[in-house]
Amino acid sequence: MRTHRDEDRGQVAVEFVGMVPLILLTLALLWQVVLVGYTYTLAGNAADEAARAGAVGDDCGEAARRHLDGAWLDGAEADCPSGGGMVTAVVTLHVPVLFPGVGGIFPIKAKAAAVDERSPTP
């Protein structure tokens, strides 16, 4: 005697297999968003540190690189123009694709400024 339940045998397995790619894609997209946020955080911190270092006469580019993780160092750029009693640091990092150290989707720029402590006060 066949019951109604015999016709649904294996349905859960089929639905699970169908959903796995969607679940994996969602996890990959969420991970990419985390990497974008982390890159923004790293760029902002490196710019702050570079501006502070430049304000007291240290090498701001070296200060920015000192505060970056290994994978974000590749292609990192730091520029520290000064003028008008301020030192401005601009740090550019590239957002990695799914894994730190793999490619770059787009650049992120962070800017910070500090009062130039080397200039004489009037």
Q: Is the pLDDT of residue 122 over 60?
A: no
Q: Rounded CA gap, 60 and 81, in Å?
A: 10
The residues with which 87 forms a beta bridge, in sequence order, are: 82, 114
pLDDT band of 32, cuts 50, 70, 90: very high
| Per-residue pLDDT, 5 | 61
Q: Rounded CA gap, 53 and 116, in Å?
A: 10
Q: Rounded CA gap, 104 and 97, in Å?
A: 6
Mean pLDDT calculated for residue range 60-78: 85
| Per-residue pLDDT, 109 | 93
pLDDT band of 47, cuts 50, 70, 90: very high
Top-ranked range on mean pLDDT: pick from 11-20, 28-37, 93-102: 28-37
Q: Rounded CA gap, 28 and 49, in Å?
A: 31
| 3-state per-residue secondary structure call for 31-62 | HHHHHHHHHHHHHHHHHHHHHHHHHCCCCHHH
**Is the model more confident about 59 or about 24?**
24
Q: Which residues contact 29 (CB under 8 A, 6 or more apart)?
A: none
* Residue-averaged pLDDT of the chain: 84
Q: Identify the three-state secondary structure at position 120.
A: coil
